[in-house]
Amino acid sequence: MALPRQYQATQSTTDLTTYLRGYPYLAKYIQQVVPEVGMPQFLGQEVPGSLRKVVKVNVIYTVDDGIFIHVYTPPRGTESGYRKYAIVEPPRPPSELLRAIEEKIAAVLSERDASTSLSDRREILLKALGKVVEVVEAPVNYREVLSRGLNKLKTIPIYSADYRYVVYHLVRDKAGLGMLEPLLKDRYIEDIYCNGVGYVFIVHKVFGPLETSLRFSTQEELDKFIIELSERIGKPVSHARPIVDATLPDGSRINIVFGGDVSLRGSSFTIRKFSKIPMSVTEIVNLGTMDEFVAAYLWMLLLEGMSGFVSGETASGKTTTLNAITVFIRPTAKIVSIEDTAEIQLPHENWLRELTRDTGSVETSVTMFDLLKAALRQRPNYIIVGEIRGAEGNVAFQAMQTGHPVLSTFHAASVERLVQRLTSPPINVPITHIDNLNFVVIQSAVYREGVLMRRVISVNEIVGYDPKAKSVIYVPIYTWDPSKDRFTFRGRGTSYLLEEKIAVARGISRRDMGLVYDELNLRAKIIRSLVEKKVFNYYDVFRVIVRIYHLVDAKAKASSKEETPYAVIEALEEALNRIGRGDLLK
């Protein structure tokens, strides 16, 4: 197929030329859309963040072999308020061919081929496909071939050019999640919404809310898809059990509401996507969610086993931040995580991951409350609760009282609202117990120049409970200045946790209190150095932090008790120098 003339006139990118020649359906798609929206800019696999501020978008990028995404602003007169997200994927082979192949595959599979693993199912499917088809080099009239009768065909002949399309759609529909698969492969998508019959919507990390090209035309089509989807993830929905929360094979969280009884627009689903590799603390600093000093401060708190909540509104990035800062927990710590849907990801070896079980029966269900009580008997160094919503909050504070540090996310937009929710039903934590919590990070989704960003609004130290005022005393040690988009530190001599908790635990005298703040600055410089060195992979960051722990521990053990605070400073200075040279990163 010849390249579009507009492309030849405006683009000379070799990569796109190669893609257009290798994927004829992409060239065909571009020829169709150019008259309406103009020639798209090809981005390859990376979508730069600088495009957030572009009003009129027209770009194509690739998310997987053979899958392309076209994001564009619709032409005048067709606007719905949304920019469009069009999926360009391999064309679907004739339905009669796919049905015939599925029947043949079903005949060669046995019970031994059953598997819950996506990768295993894919391999089993491809192996069976190899037994039932024969790839030929000449075009095939499938209707004529299949009209002879499937029983008379030992193998089904498939034209080599069509074979990869057959493989794609079989794997997508039988070992994946069908039409949603391209969305799940796109690492730039945060959320996927289907609100009933009509188009599926997404939230894109760069382009914000978009209307996709995926569409359910009838309620019957949507219900059928949702029933199959729920069965595939092992939590079937029904009219008796219309609401389901589950985790998809890639770790994403899905909520399904089935039928028109509880949803006036009919069945719906929402998917909150999570990356297989969590976002690192250096990535978060690079994006401006927090700065290196906030990160360093949290590093010191988690190193000393402080309890804290990452709190904020829905979609403020709480879980992302919680995942990111857990690398600061000692690498030798035993950690127990408790969730109702699997979202927490930790790099630690000694990590016990527990999930609730909802069977619909009080006798056989396992709740967050049950798991948290059990965790207290498992002697963890840290307990991480995915989100505190109910009675498990009371147990969490009892755990803090007995010396078990707890980290969790929480829905509240300020410390005052957090205290209100904690002390009200159904959580019911006595207000006098709130000071068992050491710190609260308040995070929010904010708009700057029309662009959605996540920012840590404040980091607050819980100082204690004032019985006269009957209120919780807290100090905002770091605050975000929205006018300058930067973080302000309250200043040396103002941190209750650094001076009254950490310094006391380390035996640092009042005279040497400046060492605590010197350590804070050094840890901040280390994080900034990692950002400048572009050490953004979650596990790479953890490996560097583990090496820093080894350096600090070695220096501390070789020094006397009085010299230990100075030895920590020396070790951190050495770590900073070694990061600068690059030898701590290898």
Across the chain, mean pLDDT equals 90
pLDDT of residue 117: 66
Query: What mean pLDDT comes out for the span 165-193?
Result: 92
Percent of the chain at pLDDT > 70 equals 96
Q: How confident is the model at residue 563 (pLDDT cuts 50, 70, 90)?
A: confident
Alpha carbons 74 and 86: distance in angstroms, whole number: 11
Report the alpha-carbon distance of residue 408 to residue 388 in Å, rounded: 7
What stretch(es) of the chain map to CATH 3.40.50.300?
Answer: 281-501
pLDDT value, residue 153: 86
Is the torsion defined by CA of 386, 389, 391, 394 positive or negative? positive
pLDDT of the residue at 586: 81
Could you tell me the CA-to-CA distances from 551 to 115, 556, 575 in Å, in that order? Answer: 45, 9, 7
pLDDT of the residue at 116: 62
Average pLDDT of the residues in 410-427: 95
- For the ranges 5-14, 334-343, 464-473, which has the lowest average pLDDT? 5-14
Average pLDDT over residues 131-136: 91
Select from 548, 561, 550 the least CA-distant residue to 505. 561
Of the given ranges (109-113, 347-351, 510-514), which has the lowest mean pLDDT? 109-113
Burial class (CB in 10 A: 0-12, 13-18, 19+), 512: middle
Alpha helices in 345-411 (DSSP H): 368-375, 392-401
pTM score, two decimals? 0.81
Q: CA-based angle 201:202:204, to the nearest 5?
A: 150
Residue 560 vs residue 159, higher pLDDT: 159
* Cα maximum dimension of the chain: 94
**Proportion of the chain above pLDDT 90, given as a percent:** 62
Please state the rounded mean pLDDT for residues 531-546: 96
What local confidence, expressed as pLDDT, does residue 115 receive? 67
pLDDT, position 77? 63
Compute the average pLDDT of residues 394-400. 91
pLDDT band at residue 6 under the 50/70/90 scheme = very low
> Considering only 1-10, 168-177, 409-418, 495-504, which range has the smallest mean pLDDT?
1-10
Mean pLDDT across 487-493: 93
pLDDT band for position 507 (50/70/90)? Answer: confident
Q: Is 63 exposed, middle or buried (0-12, 13-18, 19+ CB in 10 A)?
A: buried
**First CA to last CA across the chain, in angstroms?**
47
What's residue 183's pLDDT?
Answer: 96
Under the banding of pLDDT at 50, 70 and 90, the label for residue 8 is very low
**Contact (CB, 8 A) for 177 and 232:** yes
Which of 76-85, 147-156, 166-175 bottoms out in mean pLDDT, i.e. has the lowest? 76-85
Cα–Cα distance between 406 and 393 in angstroms, integer? 10
Question: For the domain 281-501, what is the CATH code?
Answer: 3.40.50.300
The answer on pLDDT for 5 being more than 60 is: no
Question: What ranges in 314-367 are assigned the alpha helix state H?
Answer: 318-325
SS3 readout for 488-550:
EECCCCCCHHHHHHHHHHCCCCHHHCHHHHHHHHHHHHHHHHHHHCCCCCHHHHHHHHHHHHH
Cis peptide preceding 242, ω within 30 of 0: no
| Mean pLDDT, residues 552-573 | 89
